Amino acid sequence: MTMPRDDENYVLDDQVGFLLRLAYQRHMAIFMGRISGGLTPTQFSTLYRLREAKGPISQNALGRLVGMDAATTKGVVARLIARGLIRMEKDEEDRRRHILSTTEEGRRLLDEVMPQVRGITEATLAPLSPIERDTLVQLLKRLN
């Protein structure tokens, strides 16, 4: 007599985690194929949020708005600075902080890229009907 394995009813292809990974991979492929300027999804989100913030904002605070931890944020910010899309200054009020802002070049790229980004969302959701798209977005928001 051997114990039956605990695999009954377990179908990997039906697991949210597995599906989320594949869905995000597909979205990334669509994103990188349609965006100009070589922005990654994370870099776009970071740049967008920074312009959206309008006022001065620290590196870590910006990272939180995008859902990145401090270590990840550091790398993303460094690459955006290296491309001349954002700028960093020291905060004299709080000398731990690095204040970030978009550059003219960064805002120009953002303007150029917005229509593409809309198309990317469209393409990602293409397999679904309008109602289904809305349902998926609402459910994903509830998940976070």
Partner DNA sequence: TAAAATTCATTTGCATACATACAATTTTTC
Partner DNA sequence: GAAAAATTGTATGTATGCAAATGAATTTTA
The listed partner (DNA, its own copies, none) that binds 136, CB under 5 to 8 Å by sort, is its own copies
Binding of its own copies at residue 114 (CB under 8 A)? yes
Q: Which residues contact 74 (CB under 8 A, 6 or more apart)?
A: 59
Task: Please state the closest distance from residue 87 (CB atom) to DNA, in A.
Answer: 13
Nearest C-alpha neighbor of 60 from the set 49, 75, 52, 70: 70
By CB under 7 A, the residues from 101 to 140 that bind DNA are none
Dihedral pair phi/psi, residue 100, rounded to 5°:
-110, 150
By CB under 7 A, the residues from 12 to 71 that bind DNA are 21, 25, 28-29, 32, 40-43, 58-61, 68-71
Binding of its own copies at residue 15 (CB under 8 A)? yes
CA angle, residues 25, 26, 30, in degrees to nearest 5? 115
CA angle, residues 73, 32, 14, in degrees to nearest 5? 85
Interface residues toward DNA, by CB under 7 A? 21, 25, 28-29, 32, 40-43, 58-61, 68-72, 74-77, 79, 91, 93-98
